[in-house]
């Protein structure tokens, strides 16, 4: 109960957080000095950000390049009353500041790649509320390179998963690569020709509508949807007579493709992520093992909202993982002055670390911590190249085609 006499917490904070000070093992001072990056401020991210702000995590960094849509309002509580089209990250930050004025919140309405590398280096951990595999991969790479905990989660209908990545301890997201649901692409079938799968009948119905009207069917107009449904079912009867005919909802899900999501499932998963985050922050700032708050769940958790059951899967590391496996591209951290020339830096590295230069294909540096990838020319200083503090670059051109990652900690 040290928090009651804490010197770093204000009187107001002490009154506000009174009830959680009483939790065994809790330390509000630790949370106040912590920082968390939340990637994706949607169904999960809004709930995570709300929980961590309420709990009093001192510094939150919200990243989302999306804007608010009206259909977000069934579950994304921070956006109620905000204008459609406004930045999710910015509006969330504004609402959270009202909810807890004692914490600092920074908002980035840009891709994950363009958040300053220094932030990835400085924060305590990352939490994902993302909806794409690519974004998860990107955040996973940052987590492995910066050795930060990453708490991922996702939902599908009435199910969800939550998974804490502790780099080099359990599997990273690349150890067991996620694969996207194979979507039936319009390109896979045309208006002419036989439908190869039942779902193709709907796609053909949709294509036919578009050709007839010069626009897709509007799902709020029942006669337009019905047009697609009847054509799809006609084809279905013809080509797949054993199949049950399509319902209006099935057709809508295919012609207006959005993941079904509801706040109840989002909240379960986001709360699991938030609770793991609270423990991890306590662990990171508690040097003594025995005094740590609880234990981190390092297994993959699945929640089935239809049965109320949880499943736990152990995720061993994959020795062949490209990010954390044995043959991964090694990463070196360098402390270096901004006016150092890149060509000299590579030479120094090559000598110091015994990485002979490939004379046939000499070293090249590539920018990877940015949405604009590309070569960085060697004949300039670090500051001329626009390399940011804590930025990681890829360097190729050592013997036997080997390459390395360099993280540059800049000074001067």
Ranges within 333-392 binding another protein (CB under 8 A): 333-337, 339-340, 345, 348-349, 352-353
Q: For Zn ion, which stretch binds (CB under 5 A), given 52-60, 106-114, 314-322, 358-366?
A: 314-322
Q: Which is nearer to another protein, 13 or 274 (CB)?
A: 274
With CA atoms as reference, report the closest residue to 262 among 77, 3, 398, 19. Answer: 77
309 in contact with another protein (CB under 8 A): yes
Whole-number minimum distance, CB 311 to another protein, in Å? 5
Q: Which residue has the tokens 């899967």?
A: 313
**Which tokens is 156 given?**
């599908």
402 interface partner picked from Zn ion, another protein, none, CB below 5 to 8 A per type: none
Q: For another protein, which stretch binds (CB under 8 A), given 49-57, 81-89, 159-167, 188-196?
A: 159-167
Question: x-or-dash pattern for another protein, window 225-264, by CB under 8 A?
Answer: ----------------------------------x-x---
**Which tokens is 261 given?**
């999501």
Q: Cα–Cα–Cα angle for 47, 53, 56, nearest 5°?
A: 140
Residues 265-294 touching another protein, rule: CB under 8 A, are 280, 283-284, 286-287
144 within 8 A of 99, measured Cβ to Cβ: no
**Which tokens is 370 given?**
């940015």
313 in contact with another protein (CB under 8 A): yes
Whole-number minimum distance, CB 173 to another protein, in Å? 11
CA separation (Å) from 292 to 26, 112, 244, 283, 330? 9, 31, 56, 6, 32
Question: How far is C-alpha 289 from the geometric centre of its chain's CA atoms?
Answer: 29
Q: Which is nearer to another protein, 9 or 252 (CB)?
A: 252
Which member of 36, 128, 139, 376 binds another protein (CB under 8 A)?
128
Positive/negative CA dihedral, 110, 267, 183, 301:
positive
133 interface partner picked from Zn ion, another protein, none, CB below 5 to 8 A per type: another protein
Whole-number minimum distance, CB 206 to another protein, in Å? 18
Q: For another protein, which stretch binds (CB under 8 A), given 4-12, 27-35, 222-230, 299-307?
A: 299-307
Question: x-or-dash pattern for another protein, window 186-225, by CB under 8 A?
Answer: ----------------------------------------
Q: What is the dihedral of CA 58, 62, 67, 70, to 10 degrees?
A: -50
Q: What is the dihedral of CA 75, 78, 81, 85, to 10 degrees?
A: -90
366 interface partner picked from another protein, Zn ion, none, CB below 5 to 8 A per type: none
165 in contact with Zn ion (CB under 5 A): no
Q: Which is nearer to another protein, 133 or 364 (CB)?
A: 133
320 interface partner picked from another protein, Zn ion, none, CB below 5 to 8 A per type: another protein
Residue 165, number of CB atoms within 10 A of its CB? 27
Residues 41-100 touching another protein, rule: CB under 8 A, are 42-45
Which member of 320, 361, 366, 399 binds another protein (CB under 8 A)?
320
Q: Which is nearer to another protein, 19 or 354 (CB)?
A: 354
Which member of 306, 374, 379, 400 binds another protein (CB under 8 A)?
306
Question: How far is C-alpha 221 from the geometric centre of its chain's CA atoms?
Answer: 35
Distance, CA of 284 to CA of 104 (rounded, Å): 20
Across 338-390, where does the E strand assignment appear?
364-367, 374-376
Question: x-or-dash pattern for Zn ion, window 167-206, by CB under 5 A?
Answer: -----x-xx-------------------------------
* Burial bucket for residue 363 (CB in 10 Å: 0-12, 13-18, 19+): buried
Distance, CA of 28 to CA of 374 (rounded, Å): 44
Residues written for the chain:
412
Q: What contacts 161, CB < 8 A, 6 or more positions away?
A: 152, 153, 154, 269, 300, 301, 302, 303
**Which tokens is 143 given?**
């987590």
Q: Which is nearer to Zn ion, 162 or 321 (CB)?
A: 321
Interface residues toward Zn ion, by CB under 5 A: 172, 174-175, 321, 323-324
């Amino acid at each position: 109960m040290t928090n009651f006499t804490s010197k770093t917490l204000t009187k107001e904070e002490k009154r506000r957080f009174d009830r959680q000070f009483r939790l065994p093992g809790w330390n509000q001072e630790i949370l106040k000095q912590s920082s968390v990056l939340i990637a994706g401020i949607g169904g999960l991210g809004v709930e995570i950000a709300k929980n961590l702000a309420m709990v009093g995590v001192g510094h939150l960094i919200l990243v989302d390049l999306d804007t608010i849509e009206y259909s977000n309002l069934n579950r994304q509580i921070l956006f109620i009353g905000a204008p459609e089209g406004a930045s999710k990250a910015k509006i969330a930050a504004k609402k959270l500041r009202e909810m807890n004025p004692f914490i600092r919140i920074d908002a980035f309405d840009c891709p994950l790649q363009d958040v300053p590398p220094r932030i990835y280096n400085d924060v305590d951990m990352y939490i994902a509320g993302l909806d794409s595999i690519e974004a998860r991969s990107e955040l996973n790479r940052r987590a492995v390179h910066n050795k930060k905990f990453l708490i991922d989660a996702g939902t599908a209908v009435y199910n969800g998963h939550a998974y804490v990545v502790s780099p080099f301890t359990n599997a990273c997201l690349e150890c067991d690569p996620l694969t996207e649901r194979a979507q039936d692409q319009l390109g896979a079938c045309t208006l002419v020709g036989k439908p190869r799968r039942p779902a193709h009948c709907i796609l053909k119905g949709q294509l036919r509508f578009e050709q007839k009207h010069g626009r897709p069917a509007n799902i709020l107009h029942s006669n337009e949807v019905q047009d697609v449904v009847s054509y799809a079912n006609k084809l279905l009867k013809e080509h797949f007579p054993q199949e049950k005919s399509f319902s209006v909802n099935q057709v809508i899900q295919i012609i207006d493709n959005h993941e079904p999501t509801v706040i109840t499932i989002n909240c379960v998963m986001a709360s699991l992520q938030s609770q793991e985050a609270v423990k991890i922050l306590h662990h990171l700032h508690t040097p003594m093992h025995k005094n740590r708050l609880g234990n981190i769940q390092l297994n993959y958790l699945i929640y089935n909202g239809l049965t109320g059951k949880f499943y736990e899967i152990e995720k061993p590391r994959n020795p062949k993982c490209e990010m954390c496996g044995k043959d991964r591209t090694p990463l070196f951290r360098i402390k270096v002055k901004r006016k150092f020339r890149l060509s000299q830096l590579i030479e120094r590295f090559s000598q110091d670390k015994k990485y002979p230069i490939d004379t046939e294909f000499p070293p090249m540096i590539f920018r990877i911590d940015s949405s604009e990838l590309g070569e960085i020319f060697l004949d300039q200083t670090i500051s001329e190249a626009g390399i940011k503090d804590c930025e990681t670059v890829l360097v190729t051109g050592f013997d036997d085609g080997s390459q390395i990652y360099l993280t540059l900690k800049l000074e001067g």
